[in-house]
Structures are given as C-alpha cells and as structure tokens.
Structure 1
Amino acid sequence: MQTGTLGDVRMPTAPIAPLAAIDIGSHSALLLIAQYRHGHLDPVVDLARTTHLGEGVVASGQLSEAAMARTLMVLRDYGQILSQYGVDHPVCYGTAALRQAQNTATLQQRVQQELGWSIRVLSGEEEAHYTFRGATAQIPAGGAVVIDIGGGSTEVVMGQQGHIEASWSLPVGAVSLRERFEICDRIPGPIAQAMDVYLAQVFQSIPATTLPLLVTGGTPTTLAALMLNLATYDSRRIDGHCFELEDFEMLYDELNHLSLHQRADLPAMELGRAMVILPALRLLITLMRQLRSLHLTVTVRGPRYGILL
C-alpha cells in the first residue's frame, strides 16, 4: 500500500476513487469512468450505447415512453458498471433532447427514484464550455475551433490559450436533421441540396477561420474507425486521426450508395449510427465549408471529459 507522511508518522494513503460522468444525449448515452492523474484524465471505461432519446422530440416536443424506457435500461447497465468501480454518484447531465422536451422532469424523476442520480440539464453555453475544455485539455497551447456534433444540437467553440472567445450552440444535430428531412435510407440529390441550403442558413453567423479544427462526437469517431478499417472501436487509434474535407465527401458518396442495412453491417458502425451517419456527414461537410477549412482532427474527448476537469 502506498503511504504518505504526517510529521514523522507514516500514514496509509487510500487509492484515489475514480471519477465518472454520464452524458445523456439525443442519440446515445455515454459513460466515462476515469482516474485523475497529474492534471489529466486517464479513461478507465469509455462507453456509448444508443438510446434514440431524442426520437420525435422535434415534432412532438415530448420524450416518448419508449425512448425513456430505452434510456433507463442503459442507465441501469451503467449503474452496474459503476458499482464495480466503487462509484455511487456520477456526474449525470443531459443535452439537446432534455433542453427541448417539455416532459424532461419525468425522466429526471424516474432516474432519481430508481438510481438516485440527479440529471443536470446543460444550457447550450454550458455544453459548449465543457466541450471546449475536454477537447483542448491535452493539446499544446494555442488556438482551436472545437466542433461537437450531437443528435439534437451542434456546438462550435473558438478559443485561444484555453479561453473561449466565441461559441455557438445550434439547434441542429444528426437526429433532428434526419427527422426534419424524413430520411429513412439513402439521401436523394434534391434532398441533399435542400439540406445543404438549410444548414448554410443555420451556420451563416459562424465566421471563417484559420485555426485548427477539432471535432468530437459519435459521427467523427465512427468515420475514423471506418477509414482505419477497424473491426471494433479503438479510442487510442481514433483519437488524433486527421481528415481532409475530400475524405468526408468520398465517405458520403460511398455510404450513400449503400442501403441502411448494408451500412449497419459495416464492422466499425456503432449500433444505431447507420440511421444518422449520412445527415451528420452532410452537416459536417457544410460546416467545414462555412469555416473554409480543408482538414480537421478527431478527438474522443468531449464534454464528458470537460465536466470532470
């Protein structure tokens, strides 16, 4: 056992308990268990499970009973994992779906009653702040633009030397975009054009930049896994993977030629990701064009990392 000193007395030092965060998003719920060492978070467990919590929220303004049941089932599983690591009270937060839904309190109450966890609903500004903090914590000092493509919103944060200079929390994400344009399988050319026009309007307030781009979220990590021909998710290989804009355009064309079932069968395709990968790609391509940037770097460290720092 490690020991510490108190005067001349050697005192045992208890192991530092791990930290944990659960991100309840519109498309998936994420679990991070990490040790804080030397000013950095060292992930021990980093999981994502598809919930489709935001399904139908754009049209109805409500979290459906089925979506809440799926989310609770995932959270129960996470609770069992957390207990194995001695974590009783994770930092639990929600993003776009819980900001937009009128019955968010229903899910909060059920989670509190069953698991004893309080779900904090982040504002768009808070989500952008934690996204930037998590994504930039381990990069050299300098400026960056951090992009987080979620299911119901997209955060874009510009900053220098660890300080945010401007941020945008935009009410469009992979799930909401798919629902708005009623995409079930492939995206026909006219729909893609209409989507691009809509996205250009959403992003029009964001200025072009010469700063390097960092992108986080399930879409870019899945795309990196596809480009690397990974059979399973490997965060160490995905983190830091670089893309050119033309890579995304090529991937969009290739994936749009496949049926939904064919996309779902790709080895690196996360369960449920095949349904939203195409609208998310169109979003990412349009945003890169708006920023006038030809390349970016993928980071696995999003707001769940930032909220623990």
Structure 2
Amino acid sequence: MKNLVIVDIGSNSSRMAIYKIDVDGFCTEVRRCKSSSRLSEGMGPEKYLTPTAISRTIDSLKSFKQIYSSIPNPTVITIATAAVRQAKNQKSFLKKVRKKVGLNVRVLSGREEAYYDYLGVINRVKMNDYLVMDIGGASIELVRVRGRKRRDLISIPVGSVNISERFNLKNYVNGADLFNAQRFLKNIFHRVPWLNKASHYQIILLGGAARTLARINRNHQHFYNVDYLNGYHLNQHRILGTYEMLLRKNLSDRKNVNGLEKDRADIILGGLLPLITLLDELDSRRVVFSDGGVREGIINEYINKYYRKY
C-alpha cells in the first residue's frame, strides 16, 4: 500500500490530498485539506509575490506537513501553478519553501497545467466533444476536446484574484468597471485562434469559482449533499441569474449567500466573469461540473507510470 500526498500551491488556495494506492493501482482519497493562502494577492503588474502572501502560504504548507508526517512513508508530490509560475521572485519563494518546509516544488507550465486538467477529467466525462475551462486565482486553462481527444489547449495569465483587483470587483461593482472587465476578457478570448472551433460546445467547468457556483445552486435546489459536484450541470439561464444575484449584493451581503465561502466572496464576481463572457462568445447553453482537475491528472499519470502498462 502506497501513501501518496499531493500538495498543490495554487494562486488563491493551497490544497493537500492524501491517497492510498493498493498493489493493483486502485486509488482511494483518505483526506483533503484546504487553506485560503491567497498567494497571488497583491502581485500587481510587477508580478512579485508579497512577503505577507508568502508567509501565509508557508504557514499553510507547515500545517499540511504536520498532517502527512503522521502517516507511514508518504510519497509527497508538490506542485505550484500560475502565481508561482508568473512570479519574478519565484526562485526566492521556492528556496524559502525548501528551507522552511522541506518541499521541492515542481512549477507547472501553463500548458502542463491545462494538460493535467484534461487528464483529470477525461475518465469522468461521458461526452465526446467539450471545452474544459479551469478558472484559477491567477490563470484560466482552456482545453478543446473532440472525439475524447485533446485538440487544443492554452493557459491565459488572468484569474479570479487579479481580475477582481484590477477592475475593482471586490465590493459593490459599478457598471463602468464591469464593462471594462468584460471587454478586457473578450479581447483576450478573441486572441485564442482555435476557440471559435468550440462554438456551441458544452463547458466542463473546474476551479474554485466553479465549485462555488455549483454549491450556491445546489443549496438553492435543496440538494442533500451540496459538495457532490461531478456531473452536476446548469444551463445558461440559471448561471446568468446567479451572477445577477451576486452582482446586486455588496461584499458584506455576499458573505451571507448559502454555498459561498466567506473567504471567496470578494473574488467570486471576478472569478465567474470569464465564464459569463465565454458563454456569450461561444453561445454555450450548458455547463457541466467535474471533480477532476490538475491533482487528479497527476494521480492518473502516476498510476499509469508505476502500476499500469498500456
């Protein structure tokens, strides 16, 4: 029995998941932890991780280490995504993590992050053609899948945290800021040459903003388990209605919305705006949620490498 630990240093949250893998390669998740370390907060156009954000993140990693150190012989894989990938002080941050926590961090390229998203959802999605969209704190990954094969992928260096900061979407939002944010996103999407090939595709949605959107609606629909998201779907009308509801509230009121974590209330409008924009651009009518993603993609790769021969 192998104990595999994946530590994911994200732009908005740091996460850890512990899995047991048996001799046949069957994987079971036994624990999951999350910390809202907000590493990308305050990076600005200079793209420097701030001392406060670094300290928060290292504290989170130390708390994870206390947990996985209690299990026998853990194999720990540590990854970092957009915030660290973009940071000009990346080397300094990685050195501090190595010194203070003892973790060697693999910084994923944007294409690698998008590819692992694809690996993480391919066995969870029962459709042939779709667009994977992962909205993170500092990047958006898009993967066009046709005939269950990845055809195109891209990572775009904007996400829920930096959109919210740049366009003042944290508290009450005025029309000019929202218009400028959406125009900014439209211009970015128009520069993706293959995106029009995904016109009318259903969107497989990943990321923290995705989970929040699903939980808000599952709460509203009185589902017993609001956290079970895989295969759950929403139509465009429901998504736009949810966004309008959030848009009408200030930050204080959003914190009281069922299904919306208080520590995400300030970035949820910026986090969902890329989806709202893309739904309009592609005339997509339905979004399907998946519990797969980068971590699950890395697990699939690990199991295929060490346990299965194809």
- The two structures share one fold, judged by TM-score above 0.5: yes
Identity %: 30
Counting only pairs closer than 5 Å after superposition, residues 232-271 of structure 1 correspond to structure 2 as: 237-271=228-262
1:215-246 per-position Cα deviation (integer Å, ceiling 9, x unaligned): 11011111111111189995752222101112
Report what 2:9 is aligned to: 24
Aligned residues: 294
User: 142, 149, 154: which one pairs with 2:128?
Assistant: 142
Q: Report the Cα distance in structure 2 between the residues aligned to 1:152 and 1:216, rounded to whole angstroms.
A: 14
Report what 1:278 is aligned to: 269
Q: Report the Cα distance in structure 2 between the residues aligned to 1:184 and 1:142, rounded to whole angstroms.
A: 37
Q: Secondary structure at 1:229's aligned position in 2?
A: helix
What CA RMSD, in Å, does the superposition of the two structures yield over aligned residues?
2.3
Q: Report the Cα distance in structure 1 between the residues aligned to 2:265 and 2:63, rounded to whole angstroms.
A: 23
Q: Secondary structure at 1:90's aligned position in 2?
A: strand
Report what 2:308 is aligned to: none
Q: Are 1:260 and 1:274, in contact at CA under 8 Å, matched by a contact in 2? A: yes
Report what 2:292 is aligned to: 301
Report what 1:9 is aligned to: none
Q: Please identify, of 101-110 and 160-169, the stretch whose mean Cα deviation from structure 2 is larger.
A: 160-169
When residues 87 and 106 of structure 1 are mapped into structure 2, their CA distance, relative to the original with a 3 A threshold, is farther
Q: Are 1:31 and 1:47, in contact at CA under 8 Å, matched by a contact in 2? A: yes
Q: Report the Cα distance in structure 1 between the residues aligned to 2:263 and 2:26, rounded to whole angstroms.
A: 31
Q: Are 2:169 and 2:178, in contact at CA under 8 Å, matched by a contact in 1? A: no
Q: Report whether the alignment pairs 1:229 with 2:214.
A: no
User: 206, 209, 212: which one pairs with 2:199?
Assistant: 209
Structure 2: 5+ residue stretches without partners: 301-310
Structure 1 or 2, whichever has the larger Rg, is 1
1:74-117 per-position Cα deviation (integer Å, ceiling 9, x unaligned): 11111122123335442111111111111111221121122221
1:13-59 per-position Cα deviation (integer Å, ceiling 9, x unaligned): xxx12322121111111212223467664322233221110012133
Counting only pairs closer than 5 Å after superposition, residues 94-243 of structure 1 correspond to structure 2 as: 94-140=80-126, 142-160=128-146, 162-204=148-190, 205=192, 206-207=195-196, 208-229=198-219, 237-243=228-234
When residues 132 and 289 of structure 1 are mapped into structure 2, their CA distance, relative to the original with a 3 A threshold, is same
Q: Secondary structure at 2:60's aligned position in 1?
A: helix
Corresponding letter in the other structure for 2:14:
A
Q: Secondary structure at 1:48's aligned position in 2?
A: strand
What's the TM-score once normalised by structure 1's chain length?
Answer: 0.88
Q: Aligned-pair distance for 1:292?
A: 2.0
